[in-house]
Amino acid sequence: MRRMTQLMGRPILGVPGELGGRPVSADLLTGVRTALVGLSVVGVPVLGLWVMTPYADAGATGATRLAGALWLLGHGAPVLRGEADAPLTVTPLLISALVVVRLYRAAAGVGARRGPRSRWGGPVALWAGYCAVAVAVALHCAGGGQFRSRVLLDLPAVGLLAALATAAGVRSARLVPSGPGPLLDRLPPRWRPDDGAAVVRRAAGAAGAGLVAAGGVLVAVAALLDAATGGGRGMALLGGGPTAVLGLLLLTAVLLPNAVLWGAAYALGPGFAVGAGTLVSPGGTALGPVPEFPLFALLPQEGPGGWRLAALLLPLLAGLVPAVLLGRAAAGGRSPAGGRGPWPPGATVAAAVAAALLLGAGAAVLGWLSGGALAGGRMARLGPVPWWTGLAAAGWLAVVAVPGALLVRHRGLAAAGLLAGQHPAHGQGVYARLAEQTRRGALLLRAGTYALVLRLSGRRPAAGPEAGGPEAGGPEAGGPGVGESGDGEPGTGRRSATPRSR
């Protein structure tokens, strides 16, 4: 009876909605909640600074408009600044990363649900709910204030970023393959890496992570040099009181990913600009007056590059891991897709070039997002040139990954005994052959040394497989040497069939 009661007490449908479907309003609220969480992450620090600022000129409305403008900037939407309506298009990438991650996870959760849904439900409702919050924020920030939105330009930017992040989350939930797979499958057989799309994506991701790490290293080194030898130019700007210091630190943290990407562009060679007609690169630095900001205080001094050219070694190091990944996959080693066998050399080159092109495209997009305009006139150009940065990233990876992958592939095939003209049964490959040659050389050296000792002692070595070793029947073995008859015939070294009479 108890078991029957438990079964009858369970609901027939385990998910909300009619016939197990999810109502459109639930997905709309998910999009609204995702947007409000991101907006609160930006708005809470801004409102906190407004509360801490004594005798603040603007009221709470101005603080909320500033928070909304920063949130729109995080989506790549342009904003107007000041009474002169100076354009502000530098995207704070830390806010962008937060927005993309929140939307991606929400879309993945919606896309992973099974069951019937209406035509306007699911990802479409999620996107619509998110954009509804963006419309309200853009209209709120369109009035007066230090930072004002441009509704007709801001809403398409927010909608595009939200659509891309939502689509990526849905694709990941439905396990839809993405990347250079279809393009690689169209190559001729000798240039086609079997199941190489996953390896190419991993190699490009590893190279991108290496370049980002290189940029972070350069920013950290610049900060240490500024603190040690530059008189602390960055710290000197943090003297306007606790509220100003906290505000500058928060703004620096928000723009720190931009600085890291600028450092990566510096390591690649093209560098970046801090105003029209300026250049910061390993080959030299040409700067004019720059705004007072802690990150700008880390810029190198004007003049030729000199020892700063050593930064060009960082992209070479960043290409080593992708070369190893591609080489192991080309040799038939461990790969995410479980390769079908060794790739031809042409297929290895094609995979390395595909990874380089994928990295170049990503570097160009990130370079474009990290730059922009800080104001009108001279400060209308900040950051790296996108297409130069993409070409440099693709070129550096191709230079390192193509020969590196071929070398790792050759070593892997040699260790497995799969090179042309070599059978796996003949030892363990090149290392077994080297060991065999070393053993033979040691035996020959031993035999030559033994023969030399016998000649110096006036005794002639016996003929044998090792020229006089004990196993050859030499004097140390108790047998007669060459020229000693013993009980045999003189001069032959052979025993006689009949004993000699005494």
Q: What is the pLDDT of residues 171-192, one digit of tens each?
A: 887 665 555 666 776 777 788 7
Task: Tell the burial category of 73 from Cβ atoms under 10 Å away from its Cβ (0-12, 13-18, 19+).
Answer: buried
Domain ranges of the chain: 17-176, 183-416, 430-470
**What integer pLDDT is reported at residue 419 of this predicted model?**
55
C-beta separation of 107 from 126 below 8 A: yes
Task: Tell me the average pLDDT of the chain.
Answer: 77
Distance between CA atoms of 398 and 406, rounded to whole angstroms? 12
Percentage, residues of the chain above pLDDT 70 = 73
Query: Which DSSP letter does residue 479 get?
Result: S
**What integer pLDDT is reported at residue 109 of this predicted model?**
84
Strand-pairing partners, residue 490, are none
Amino acid at 390: G
Average pLDDT rounded to a whole number, residues 8-37? 67
- Choose from 173-187, 382-396, 402-416 the range with maximum mean pLDDT: 382-396
| CA distances in angstroms from 39 to 68, 82, 104, 164, 408, listed in the order given | 7, 22, 16, 19, 48
Percentage, residues of the chain above pLDDT 90 = 30
Q: What is the pLDDT of residues 252-310, one digit of tens each?
A: 889 999 999 999 999 999 999 998 888 999 988 888 888 877 788 888 888 787 788 88
Examine the pLDDT at 81 and tell me if it is beyond 80.
Answer: yes
Q: What is the pLDDT of residues 317-340, one digit of tens each?
A: 988 999 999 988 888 754 444 445
Q: What is the pLDDT of residues 364-387, one digit of tens each?
A: 999 999 998 887 778 888 889 999
Q: What is the pLDDT of residues 211-237, one digit of tens each?
A: 999 999 999 988 888 777 755 555 555
Distance between CA atoms of 228 and 7, rounded to whole angstroms? 73
Q: In what order do the strands lie in the sheet with 279-281?
A: 279-281, 284-286, 303-304
Instruction: Please provide the DSSP assignment of 232-284 as one string.
Output: -HHHHT--S-HHHHHHHHHHHHHHHHHHHHHHHHHHHSS-BEESTT-EEETTE
Q: Name residues whose C-beta falls within 8 Å of residue 96's C-beta, 6 or more positions apart in sequence.
A: 74, 75, 76, 161, 369
Q: What is the pLDDT of residues 255-270, one digit of tens each?
A: 999 999 999 999 999 9
pLDDT band at 33 (very low <50, low <70, confident <90, very high): very high
Distance between CA atoms of 96 and 76, rounded to whole angstroms? 8
C-beta separation of 63 from 46 below 8 A: yes
Nearest CA among 359, 391, 307 for reference residue 180: 359
Distance between CA atoms of 202 and 354, rounded to whole angstroms? 11
* Angle (CA) 269 271 274, round 5°: 170
Burial per residue of 191-203, b for 16 or more beta-carbon CB atoms within 10 angstroms, e otherwise: bbbbbbbbbbbbb
**What integer pLDDT is reported at residue 5 of this predicted model?**
45
Three-state DSSP class for 81?
Answer: strand
Distance between CA atoms of 386 and 337, rounded to whole angstroms? 33
**What integer pLDDT is reported at residue 424 of this predicted model?**
43
Average pLDDT rounded to a whole number, residues 417-445? 62
The first and second tokens of residue 460, run together, are 């002639």
Q: Whole-prediction pTM value?
A: 0.74
C-beta separation of 409 from 330 below 8 A: yes
C-beta separation of 343 from 329 below 8 A: yes
Query: Which DSSP letter does residue 46 get?
Result: H
Of 234-248, 443-457, 474-488, minimum mean pLDDT range:
474-488
Q: What is the pLDDT of residues 54-68, one digit of tens each?
A: 655 667 788 888 899
